[in-house]
């Protein structure tokens, strides 16, 4: 496992992290979740990401139960959670000071922890003034409920506004942004976030390196029975795969097979390694449904060292979606 600093902070995180949206969701048994978490920890993954909304709080409870039963040193792993969608009441969602503080306390109760390492403000909230958000995040850090805070799915201008607000009032600025990043979703992580990384030290933790499972060579124009898209509640993913754009993307994934074969890896491993090469990316979150799948994805670490500039250019040529700076 390789470790990187979280943005320009001193926190060292594994370059591959484990997301709990899939692993600890309602479709996966607690035994499987424990197997996955154990394999991840034993192979050097120290970053475990969850959210108050995942499986209506079950993901946090399951993660908390496993961590408690394992008895691993609290100082040896990093727990992150996201606040926004907490409950049905108007005051149980969004980024008001009330919900940030109460939502985080609820997460800590479910996780059975005294603090999380990073709390993310998930989505920007037009109903909450930026100063209120930054002051609330500073408060939870000063109270010891979190050690750092970050943003998730925020625009570059919003992140910069939060940073400026923190500097203006001597508050604590965000350290990283959680963003979707994969072969077909490139602009934010490759064009916007590197500038924030160099200017204000905000790094990035990225998710969905396989585009919710679309980036594998197993589909071949159809949706197999074992695919996540066939699960209840994932109709949107099935629709996406069967759309015109989805079929074009799957065709491009198959075009990557010769490169993957040349490097002696799977398309999934190639796609994850490709995400890891991006500047300012502290960690790439994996979403897996079994320990075997996790082991395959960990193989991306060996592929990363083989990704020469020439290979990356070849991939860019096949995808045809490389972005160029306006400078």
CA distance 171 to 164: 10
Its pTM stands at 0.92
CA distance 226 to 229: 8
| Catalytic annotation, pick one of 3, 41, 54, 139 | 54
**What does the block give as tokens for 207?**
């998710």
pLDDT-based confidence at 157, cuts 50/70/90?
A: very high
Q: Is 115 a catalytic residue?
A: no
**What does the block give as tokens for 204?**
């990035």
**Whether 128 contacts 160, CB under 8 Å:** no
**What does the block give as tokens for 98?**
């009330």
CA distance 81 to 150: 10
Residue with tokens 């479910």: 110
Q: What is the mean pLDDT of the segment spanning 57-62? A: 94
Across the chain, what does the average pLDDT equal?
A: 91
**What does the block give as tokens for 259?**
């490169």
What does DSSP assign to residue 92?
G
CA distance 37 to 66: 8
Q: Which domains does the chain have, with CATH numbers?
A: 3-216+274-290 (3.20.20.100)
**Lowest mean per-residue pLDDT among 100-114, 232-246, 273-287:** 232-246
């Amino acid at each position: 496992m390789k470790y990187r600093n979280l943005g320009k902070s001193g926190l060292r995180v594994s370059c591959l992290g484990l997301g709990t949206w899939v692993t600890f969701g309602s479709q996966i048994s607690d035994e499987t979740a424990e197997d996955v978490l154990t394999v991840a920890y034993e192979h050097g993954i120290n970053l475990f990401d969850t959210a108050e909304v995942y499986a209506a709080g079950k993901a946090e409870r399951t993660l908390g139960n496993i961590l408690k039963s394992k008895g691993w040193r609290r100082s040896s792993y990093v727990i992150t959670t996201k606040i926004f969608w907490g409950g049905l009441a108007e005051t149980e969602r969004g980024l008001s000071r009330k919900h940030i503080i109460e939502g985080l306390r609820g997460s800590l109760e479910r996780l059975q922890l005294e603090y999380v390492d990073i709390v993310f403000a998930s989505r920007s909230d037009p109903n909450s003034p930026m100063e209120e958000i930054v002051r609330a995040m500073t408060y939870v850090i000063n109270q010891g409920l979190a050690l750092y805070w970050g943003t998730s799915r925020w625009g570059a201008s919003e992140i910069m506004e939060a940073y400026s607000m923190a500097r203006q009032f001597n508050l604590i600025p965000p350290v990283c942004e959680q963003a979707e990043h994969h072969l077909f979703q490139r602009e934010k992580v490759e064009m916007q976030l590197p500038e924030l990384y160099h200017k204000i030290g905000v790094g990035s933790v990225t998710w969905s390196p396989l585009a919710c499972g679309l980036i594998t060579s197993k589909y071949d124009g159809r949706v197999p029975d074992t695919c996540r898209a066939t699960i209840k509640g994932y109709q949107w993913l099935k629709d996406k795969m069967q759309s015109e754009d989805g079929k074009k993307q799957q065709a491009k994934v198959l075009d990557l097979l010769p490169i993957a074969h040349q490097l002696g890896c799977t398309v999934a491993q190639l796609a994850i390694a490709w995400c890891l090469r991006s500047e300012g990316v502290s960690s790439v979150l994996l979403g897996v449904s079994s320990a075997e799948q996790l082991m395959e994805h960990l193989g991306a670490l060996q592929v990363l060292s083989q990704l020469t500039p020439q290979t990356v250019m070849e991939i860019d040529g096949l995808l045809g979606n490389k972005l160029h700076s306006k400078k």
